[in-house]
Structure 1
Amino acid sequence: MTTGLAAPTMVQRAQTLCNIRNALQRTLVREPVMSVSHDPVDVLIVGAGASGSTAAKHLAEQGRSVVVLDQGHWTDVGDLPGDKPEYELLWNNHRFHPDPNMRDRREDYPTNLEDSEQPVYMYNGAGGSTVYFAGVWSRPLPSDFRVRTLDGVADDWPISYEDLIPFFAATDYDMGVSGLAGNTAYPPGAEPPLPMHPINQTGRRMAEGLNSLGWHWWPGYSAIPSRAHNRQAQCVRLGVCRTGCVAGAKGSADITLLPDALAHGARIETGARVARITLDEMGRANGAVYLQDGTEKFQAARVVIVAANGIGTPRLLLMSESNRFPHGLANSSDLVGRRLMLHPFGSAIGIYDEDLEDWLGPAGTQIECMEFYETDVTRGFVRGSKWHVMGTGGPLEMATRWHIGEGVRDEDFWGEQFTRKMKQAVGHSIDWIVHAEDLPEEHNRVTLDPTLTDSDGLPAPKITYMTSDNTHQILDFGLNRAVEAHYAAGATKAWITFRNFSSGHNLGTTKMGDDPETSVVDRWGRTHDVPNLYVIDGSVFTTSTATNPTSTICALAKRTATFIANNRDQVVAW
C-alpha cells in the first residue's frame, strides 16, 4: 500500500495518540459477557485481506467448509473519499488514514513505535489493505529466491520463481490484472490476462528520458482492469486508487475474492478479533477464541490458517502462548516476530513545462524500471531497487512535496510564491517511486507491548525497526539516478522528496524455510511446530524482494490452499 504521505513528526504524533488511547482503555475495556462455541469447520482463516481471501475462495470452491474471522468490517463504497472534491483532506484525516494509530477506529489495534523509525500501515476489514493499496502488481524476479547463492546475503527461499508460475497466473486472473506481455526483465510466460492501461503523458515522457539513457522500462502491471472483468468494472482513470476505488474496478479482495468464497458457502465474520489460537491435547490447532460485540466466542476447526499480515500474525502467535509453547505458538525457533522488513521506499519528483495530466489513473503505475534491480558490486551494496512512475496527486500532496523535498523545503512557499509554485507543479509533475530490497535482520521485530492494548484489552504490537545501511545505499543510489532520469526527460526542476519511508509492506516475521531451527513455516506455509497450522501472508517472506509484494502474497496463499485441498491425508482427517 504505497503512499505518498510523509510528515517528519508522524511517528511521534502516532505514539502520543497511542499513549493517550492506552490510558483511556484501562478504564474502558469491555469484558466479554458470555461465551459461544461454533461447530468445527474444515478450515478457519484469521484475516480477510489479500491472502486470507485468496485461500477462502479456493478452499470454498473445493468444497471445504470455511470460516473467515476479521476484526474489521465491510467497507461501504459510498463512504470512500475518492469521488468527493475534498478527497485529499478526507484521506489524510483519521478515518481513512493508512496508519492505524492515526485512524484509531475501535477495530484497529495501536502499534508502539517508540523504537521504530518507520510508521506502520495496514487496514483492517474485509479486503484488508487491498481496499487502499495502489494496485501495483509486480512479480519478483527469479534471482529474488536465491540471494544467498547469488549474493551471499540473507537466505535462499525454499521455493523458486518457477514453483509459483501457475499460481501467479491464477491470481492474476482473479484480481483482474492488466499489463503487457514480453517484459525483458522476466522469463517468458508472464502474460497478464487483460490489456495494458495507457501509460499516459507522464509515462510517455519518462520513457523517452529512459530511452535516451539506455535504461530498461516497461508499461506497469496493475490489479485494475482495463476493461470490465468478472465483478470488476472497467477503470475510469480517476487516479484516486489509494483512497479506495469508488468505481468498483480495483482488485480489492472484498470485490474480487470474498464474493466467490461466500457464493461457495464460506462464512465471513467481521468485527471478530481473534485473541488466541487453541490446541488440543495432541498439540494440534483446534480453533480460535475471538471477541465479537463484547462476547467471547470459540470457532472450532480442523485446520487453522493465519493471514493477519506481517504485524498481526506474529502478534497473534505470540499472544497464543501456552505450557507447550511458552514463548508463543509455533515459536520453537524464536523467530516469530523477528526479521521484520518494512520495505522502505523513496520518491524523486520532476516538474515539467507542459500540462501532463499527471492525476490520470490508474494511480499505481504508468511505467516501471528494473535497470538497477540486480546486484552490481561496483555500486558498493548488494541487491537493488524497482522503480515505478506515479502521478503526484492533487494540490495537498503536491504542497507536501514542496515542504519536505531536499533542496526546496527552505524556499519561500507561502504568500506570493504559493500560487506560482502550485501552478508550476500541479498537473505538471512526474513522481518516481524507488522501492529498495529490505534485507532481513533479526533485531528488526514485532513483540508484545507490556502495557499498550487494543480496545478489547489485548496486547498491542511493539515495533522495533531501523533501516539498514545497505537499504539506505540502495535508496540513495536509486533516487540520485531517478533525478538524473527526470532531467534526461526534460524536467525543468527535480528533487528528492524523501529518501526512506514505510511502504505499508509488512514482511518477514514468520520466515519460510526447510529447517525448523531457522524458520517458522515450511515451503507450504505449514508451521514446523504445529502440523495443521498455516501462515500465508507476507510474514512468510524469506526476503522482501524489491517489488510490491501483493502478487507474491496471493500466489503463495493460492499455492498453500491448493496443497491443503489436495493433500487431505497429510493435512488432517477432515
Structure 2
Amino acid sequence: MAIQNFPFEPDVVVVGAGVAGGMAADIAASNGLKVVILESGPRLNRDDITRRWRETPLTNFMAPYPQPEYAPVPDPANWDNYLIQTGPDAYNQQYIRGVGGTTWHWAAATWRFLPSDFRLQSLYGVGRDWPLSYEDLEPWYDNAETRMGVAGRMAPGIAPRNSPFPMEALPLSYMDATIAGHLNQNGYQMVDEPVARNSRIYDGRPPCCGNNNCMPICPIAAQYSGNMAVERAEESGAIVVTEAVVHHLEASEDGRIGAVRYLSPDGQETRIAARAVVLAANGLETPRLMLMSRQERAPNGIGNSTGQVGRYLMDHPGTSVVFDMPEPVWPGRGPQEMTSILKFRDGEFRSRFAAKKLHLWNGSMVSSIAEEAIDEGLRGEELRRTIANRAARRCAINSFHELLPEPTNRLTLAEDRLDPLGLPRPQIHYEIGAYVRESALHTAEVYRDIVDTLGAELISVSTGEEGFAPNNHIMGGTIMGDDPANSVVNKDCRVHAYDNLWVASSSVFPSAACVNSTLTIAALALRVGADVALQLRN
C-alpha cells in the first residue's frame, strides 16, 4: 500500500496513550499546542473489562483485557508469545495496549523516590546518579499527586514534601492494622502506602468501597488510571488516534525528527509530520521503536549512535513469604495493598546489597488453600471448615529489590522473529546479579523474623535461589545522563542528538530504587510536557 499522509500537521505527536503520554499531552495542549496522541491499542471500557473479569476462568491480571492480534503483548498464560528471552533470567513483563495503558491494572502505589535514590553512585559507590536532583522533581511530584489524587500520611521512610497529601489516608483493613501494630512495636517501619485511590470524593470520582480487585480493575474508578490523563488531554484539545502502531521515526536533514510513521491493523501506513515528538510507549516499546527506526541518517536507530538504546533494563525482582496468623485477620477486605515496611529502603548497606520495600498483600488465598486441603484428602464439612479457617488467617508479604543498571541487561531486535505486522519482536538479555541475590538472602531472614514476631506459622519463604517474581516495573532502555557516550536522553528527557525528540517513560530512569515507578513516571512526563511547550513557544 502507498503511504498516506495524516490530514494535518500538529505541533506535537505523542506516541502512547498511557499515564505518561496523557500527562505530557495535557500540558502541551493546555499551552495552546496542537497535539495528536497515537495509541497502538483500542479504547477500553471499564464496564466491559469488569464483566470480562467476572466471566474469565483465568486468574492473571491481563485476562480481562483485549490483546490485539496485530500488536501482541506479553501474555502470562504464554510467556513465549512475544518477548524473546536469551539471558539466564526471564524478563517477563505485563503491559496493556489501549488508551490508559497499564495503570488500568495496578496497585495504585504512588511513592516518591528518596533524595538518596538520585545519588546512588555518589553516596554508596554503586549504580548511577541522576543528572537531576530530588529538588528538581519535587514540584512535579506535587503536581502529579494533585492530578492523580493521592491519599497518604507522612511517616518515617517516606520522602520529604513541601505540601500535604491531596487526600487523607484510607482506613487500614483489620489485617493491615493488626500486623502493623505488632511489627511496629518491634522496630519495623510499617507505614500506610501513598496511593492514587480516593479516600473521599475527588475529581468527581467516588471513594474506595473495598471491592478488593484493584488489580486487574477498579470497577468504580475510585482508583486513578491513565485513561483519565488522556481524557484530560482531550479536554485540552488533544486528538487520540487508536490502533496506530508507530514503527518508524524519520530523521530530517536538519538533525530533527521530521515525521512519525504508523501502521493500522490492516497494514496501511500513515505518515504524520510534527514540530516535536514525545515517546511514551513504555519501557520496552520505546527503545524497540528507536531501534526499528534505522535509516541512512541513523544507521543504528534513532538516538543510538553510541549503542546505548535498549541497555540498562531494570525491574524490582521480588520474593515472598506466606504464613498463617494465630488468629483470624480476614485478608481480602479493602484495597489489595495498603501497608509497606520501609526499614530497609535506605542506608549504608546499599553499598553492599540492594535496598528493598516489603509490602503486605491484602488478598484472599482461598483458591490455593482449597487446592492444598483437597490434596490433603479432606472432604465434605471438614474440607469446608479447614478452608474457612485457613483463608481467614493466611497472609503474604512480598518484596521489591532494587536492581542496578547494567549495560548487558538489554533489549535488541529479533530480525528473524516478526510480529503480525512484520515488525521485529523484542529480544531480551537479562540477569539478576549478586547485588540483588545477596539482598534477597537477607530478606528471607527478615521474613522469618517477621513470622516469629507475629507468632505465626511459616508456610513458605523464598530466597531468590528458586527464582524471582517480576513486578512489571519496566525501567531503563533509554537511560538519562549528561554524557551521550553512556546515556540516551539528557536531564530534560530530550534525546541527545535531536532537539525535538523527548522520552516520557520509566525507560529514562538511571536507578530503580525499591518503590513503584508510576508517580516518578508521571512527574517526569509533566516536566517533559512543560519543556516541549516552552521550546515550541520559543
What TM-score do you get using the length of structure 1 for normalisation? 0.86
- Tell whether 2:193 aligns with 1:224: no
Note the 1:506-517 alignment, pairs <5 A. Answer: 506-517=474-485
Aligned counterpart in structure 2 of residue 192 of structure 1, from 158, 161, 165 = 165
In the alignment, is the contact (CA less than 8 A) between 2:197 and 2:222 conserved in 1?
yes
- Asked if 1:428 is matched to 2:427, the reply is no
Cα 1:565–1:74 shift into 2, 3 Å: same
- Aligned to 1:213, the other structure's residue is in SS state coil
C-alpha deviation, 1:155, in angstroms: 1.2
1:281 corresponds to:
253
**In the alignment, is the contact (CA less than 8 A) between 1:81 and 1:91 conserved in 2?**
no
Amino acid in the other structure paired with 1:488: T
Structure 1 position 483, deviation (Å): 3.2
Q: Is the 8 A contact 1:237 1:360 kept in 2?
A: yes
Question: Which of 471, 488, 491 in structure 2 is aligned with 1:520?
Answer: 488
Native 8 Å contact 1:280 1:286 kept in 2:
yes
User: In the alignment, is the contact (CA less than 8 A) between 2:11 and 2:34 conserved in 1?
Assistant: yes
- Residues 38, 300 of structure 1: 8 Å contact kept: no
The CA deviation string for residues 362-389 of structure 1, in whole angstroms up to 9 with x for no partner, is 22x2211110112444x98334101222
TM-score by length of 2: 0.91
Amino acid across the alignment from 2:523: A
Structure 2: distance between partners of 1:44 and 1:398? 50
Shift of residue 241, structure 1, vs aligned partner: 0.6
Structure 2's unaligned 5+ residue stretches are: none
Give the length in aligned residue pairs: 525
Could you tell me how far apart the structure 1 residues matched to 2:61 and 2:203 are?
32
* Equivalent position amino acid for 1:478 in 2: T
Report what 1:5 is aligned to.
none
Instruction: Report the secondary structure of 1:41's partner residue.
Output: coil
Question: Does 1:439 find its partner at 2:404?
Answer: yes
Cα distance between partner residues in 1 of 2:311 and 2:318: 21
- Identity among equivalent positions (%) equals 30
Query: Residue 534 of structure 1 corresponds to which residue in structure 2?
Result: 502
Q: 1:77 and 2:55 equivalent?
A: no
Q: Secondary structure at the match of 2:149?
A: coil
Q: Give the match's secondary structure for 1:68.
A: strand
Aligned to 1:298: 271
Letter in 2 for 1:455: P
Amino acid at match of 1:259: E
Instruction: Identify the residue that residue 10 of structure 1 maps to in structure 2.
Output: none
CA drift at 1:477: 1.4
**Aligned residue type for 1:135:** A
Query: What is the distance in 2 between the residues matched to 1:125 and 1:76?
Result: 10
Following superposition, the deviation at residue 412 of structure 1 comes to 8.4
Output the CA distance in 2 between the equivalents of 1:225 and 1:399: 33
Tell me how far apart the structure 1 counterparts of residues 272 and 351 of structure 2 sit (CA, whole Å).
52
CA distance in 2, matches of 1:396, 1:34: 52
Gap change, CA 1:369 and 1:103, over 3 Å in 2: closer
2:338 to 357, 361, 366: 366
Residue matched to 1:483: 448
Greater Cα shift, 192-201 or 92-101: 92-101
Cα 1:279–1:390 change in 2 (3 A) is same
Contact 2:353 2:438 in 1 (8 A): no
Give the whole-Å Cα distance in 2 for the aligned partners of 1:463 and 1:355. Answer: 44
- Aligned AA (2:514): A
CA RMSD of aligned residues (A): 2.6
Tell me if 1:333 matches 2:302. Answer: no
Checking the alignment, whether the CA contact within 8 Å between 1:536 and 1:560 is kept in structure 2 is yes
Q: Pick from 415, 422, 430: which aligns with 1:465?
A: 430
Are residues 1:146 and 2:119 paired? Answer: yes
Secondary structure of the residue aligned to 1:416 is coil
Q: Give me the whole-angstrom Cα distance separating, in 1, the residues matched to 2:102 and 2:368.
A: 21
Kindly indicate whether the alpha-carbon contact (under 8 Å) linking 1:145 and 1:159 is maintained by their aligned counterparts in 2: yes
Measure how far apart 1:114 and its partner are.
Answer: 4.2
Distance 2:320 2:401 in 1: 11
Distance 1:185 1:283 in 2: 43
Task: Tell me, yes or no, if the aligned pair for 1:349 and 1:497 is still in contact at 8 Å.
Answer: no
| Structure 1: gaps spanning 5 or more residues | 1-31, 403-410
Pair 1:557 & 2:531 matched: no
Question: Cα 1:282–1:393, aligned 2, differ >3 Å: closer, same or farther?
Answer: farther
Deviation, structure 1 residue 80: 2.1
Q: What CA distance in whole angstroms lies between the structure 1 residues aligned with 2:369 and 2:259? A: 48
1:136 CA displacement:
0.9
Structure 1 residue 522: deviation in Å? 0.3
Q: CA distance change for structure 1 residues 70 and 396 in 2, over 3 Å: closer, same or farther? A: farther
How far, CA to CA, are the matches of 2:415 and 2:390 in structure 1?
47
- The answer as to whether partners of 2:86 and 2:430 remain within 8 angstroms in 1 is no
The partner residue of 2:147 within 136, 154, 174 is 174
Paired with 1:382 and 1:359, the residues of 2 have a C-alpha distance of 33
Change (3 A) 1:342 1:85: same
User: Does structure 1 conserve the Cα–Cα contact (< 8 Å) formed by 2:370 and 2:387?
Assistant: yes
Aligned to 1:502: 470
In the alignment, the residues of structure 2 paired with residue 168 and residue 338 of structure 1 have an alpha-carbon distance, to the nearest angstrom, of: 26
The answer (yes or no) to whether the contact 1:100–1:123 under 8 Å persists in 2 is: yes
Determine the structure 1 residue equivalent to 2:283.
Answer: 310
Matches of 1:91 and 1:335, distance apart in 2:
33
- 1:174 and 1:109, CA in 2 relative to 1: closer, same or farther beyond 3 A? farther
Measure the CA separation in 2 of the matches of 1:119 and 1:96: 17
**Structure 1 pair 231–290 and aligned structure 2 pair: CA distance change class (3 A):** farther
Q: More deviation in 470-479 or 313-322?
A: 470-479
| Residues 215 and 65 of structure 1, relative CA distance in 2, 3 Å threshold | same
